[in-house]
Amino acid sequence: MSDFDLVIRGGTVVNAAEISKCEVGIKEGRIVALGEMLGPGKQEIDATGKFVMPGGIDSHCHIDQRSSGGGRNAETFLSGTRSAACGGTTTIICFAAQEKGELLTPIVEDYHERAKESCIDYSFHLIISDPSDQVMNDEVPKLIDQGHRSLKIFMTYPRNRLNDAEILKVLETAKRKQALVCVHAENHDAIMYMTEKLLAAENNSTKFHAWAKPPLVEREAVHRVIMLSELLDVPIQIFHVSCEEAAEEIRRAQQRGLKIFSETCPQYFVLTERDLDRDQREGAKFVCSPAPRTEGDQEAVWDHVRLGTIGNVTSDHAPYNIDELEGKFWAGDNAPFSQIANGVPGLETRMPITFSEGVVKGRIDLQTFVAITSTNAARLFGLYPKKGTISVGADADICIWDAEKDVTITQDILHHDTDYTPFEGLQVTGWPFITISRGKIVWENGDVRCEAGWGKFLARDPYDYIEPRGILPTPFDPVVLTTNKK
Ligand code: URP
Ligand code: ZN
Ligand code: ZN
């Protein structure tokens, strides 16, 4: 008789808080024992020489989503989650995206329908592009109650951007309903102005994508949204921090005690603005927002990961095919930089690049790697301790990591449905050996064992981590006491 469905022996268990040599016993999709000399399992894995870590949590990825600019997403929920699983990730948080003039509920229902084919667990951020009274007062509170406990807003992109008054409205609802607001922070008018001027001077090529949106447009928007969040005393998460200037704004706010959280992405570890300076077809592969920066910014971003300013690494997987009419070149082969779809694919390469550039190159330790690729996202988005930890009672979402494996990243080894990788030719050390989703092996050393529909929607209840501080800039509380007089 077996005591467990699955036992992992011989590995080193790495959690964000501690490292231990122990066996892991799994039953009915959960971790039920950690210890020595565990009884037999129906299935056993020899993890000798490997790290046994919580499965990755990618809390920012666009899957089967309508684009913010133009073009059509290359990935389905099946291909996207398969690719994530092959890269060691066992949970994703993607988006249900509203556009201006639309109601949100039917959109969310539609995303749920399409996400049913996911092969790992998933949750949604709600993209609010039109915070009308109906949307914010009727729809969003109900959707949050159903477990969509994070909202995403854009400060740029014509179809999605919110002005400051609209941002305040979203922050207010988030505070009332205990949800977290995630922000794409770039100054829209400055980008539009620069774009117009660049194009008028016939500076059309992809290189000018970076010129249209330099670090200061990110810095200003980060500063502004921090101010808005401070005004209401509501925590926020700043998405895809790409440069020193933005990270410093966040650091300053954190040092003043504000609950400002932030993420970065592998593209800001390894790509630079020089990658955009190629012919249009090649350069388009690196068009994403914020734009890739400099080597100096890469090191600054790492500094802020070490300091804790930046708490998690996400892929911002935003896949558009090069060779597809509705892909990167939806506006035509000769489209200027401003009409090339924004975003790069990266679900599968997120953990390997972060491990290789981070742990192998001595920039971070193993536990920090686990924290920034899994545990911190679980805490921030209300999934902990079900996700993000190897602990008794947690879901058996596990990544067994081969820290010695040398891999050259090329398009043909990846499992996404996008027709390129921006990381082509990048050499990394460290790759997932086995990925386990709720006790089921979904990836084993080159063998894809994903099953469409295995993934479950993760409804997220209220949680303490994003409690406001209780400190307001004036004696008047604009959110809780709406009719008070001072
Ligand atoms: O370039 C990017 N990141 N595209 C995806 C949408 C967004 O900006 O997050
Ligand atoms: Zn964004
Ligand atoms: Zn994004």
Residue nearest atom 4 in ligand 1 by C-alpha distance: 343
- In DSSP terms, 317 is beta-bridged to 61, 344
CB atoms within 10 A of CB 18: 9
Total H helices, total E strands in the chain: 15, 19
> What's the gap in Å between 291 CA and the centre of ligand 3?
12
Closest ligand to Cα 284: 1
Closest ligand to Cα 241: 2
Amino acid at 457: F
Ordered strands of the 121-127 beta sheet: 56-58, 89-97, 121-127, 150-154, 180-184, 236-238, 260-264, 312-313
Domain ranges for the chain: 56-372
> What's the gap in Å between 262 CA and the centre of ligand 1?
15
Domain 56-372 belongs in CATH node 3.30.930.10: no
* Ligand 1 atom nearest to CA at 316: 3
Closest ligand to Cα 61: 3
* Ligand 1 atom nearest to CA at 342: 1
> What's the gap in Å between 18 CA and the centre of ligand 3?
31
Residue nearest atom 2 in ligand 1 by C-alpha distance: 343
pLDDT recorded at residue 481: 46
Collect all residues with Cβ–Cβ distance below 8 Å to 202 and sequence separation of at least 6. none
Closest ligand to Cα 239: 2
* Ligand 1 atom nearest to CA at 289: 1
Q: What is the H or E stretch that residue 24 is in?
A: strand 23-27
> What's the gap in Å between 17 CA and the centre of ligand 1?
32
> What's the gap in Å between 353 CA and the centre of ligand 3?
18
> What's the gap in Å between 168 CA and the centre of ligand 3?
21
Closest ligand to Cα 342: 1
Mutation to probe ligand 1, out of 94, 161, 217, 288 (largest number of atoms < 8 A from CB): 288
Closest ligand to Cα 344: 1
> What's the gap in Å between 363 CA and the centre of ligand 3?
25
How far apart (Å, rounded) are the C-alpha atoms in residues 373 and 388?
9
> What's the gap in Å between 316 CA and the centre of ligand 1?
7
pLDDT recorded at residue 68: 67
Q: Are 354 and 430 in contact (CB under 8 A)?
A: no
Residue with tokens 């990110």: 218
Collect all residues with Cβ–Cβ distance below 8 Å to 51 and sequence separation of at least 6. 11, 12, 13, 14, 366, 400, 401, 403
CB atoms within 10 A of CB 116: 14
The whole-model pTM stands at: 0.97
Mutation to probe ligand 1, out of 342, 344, 350, 418 (largest number of atoms < 8 A from CB): 342
Ligand 1 is surrounded, with C-beta below 6 A, by 62, 68, 184, 288-289, 316, 318, 342-343
> What's the gap in Å between 39 CA and the centre of ligand 3?
45
Mutation to probe ligand 1, out of 184, 285, 314 (largest number of atoms < 8 A from CB): 184
Closest ligand to Cα 60: 3
pLDDT recorded at residue 437: 98
* Ligand 1 atom nearest to CA at 157: 8
pLDDT recorded at residue 483: 47
Which pair of tokens denotes residue 306?
Answer: 């070490």
* Ligand 1 atom nearest to CA at 288: 1
**DSSP three-state, residue 457:** strand
> What's the gap in Å between 4 CA and the centre of ligand 2?
43
* Ligand 1 atom nearest to CA at 239: 9
Low pLDDT (below 50) residues in the chain: 481, 483-486
> What's the gap in Å between 476 CA and the centre of ligand 1?
36
How far apart (Å, rounded) are the C-alpha atoms in residues 174 and 163?
17
Residue nearest atom 8 in ligand 1 by C-alpha distance: 289
> What's the gap in Å between 119 CA and the centre of ligand 1?
24
Mutation to probe ligand 1, out of 316, 338, 339, 418 (largest number of atoms < 8 A from CB): 316
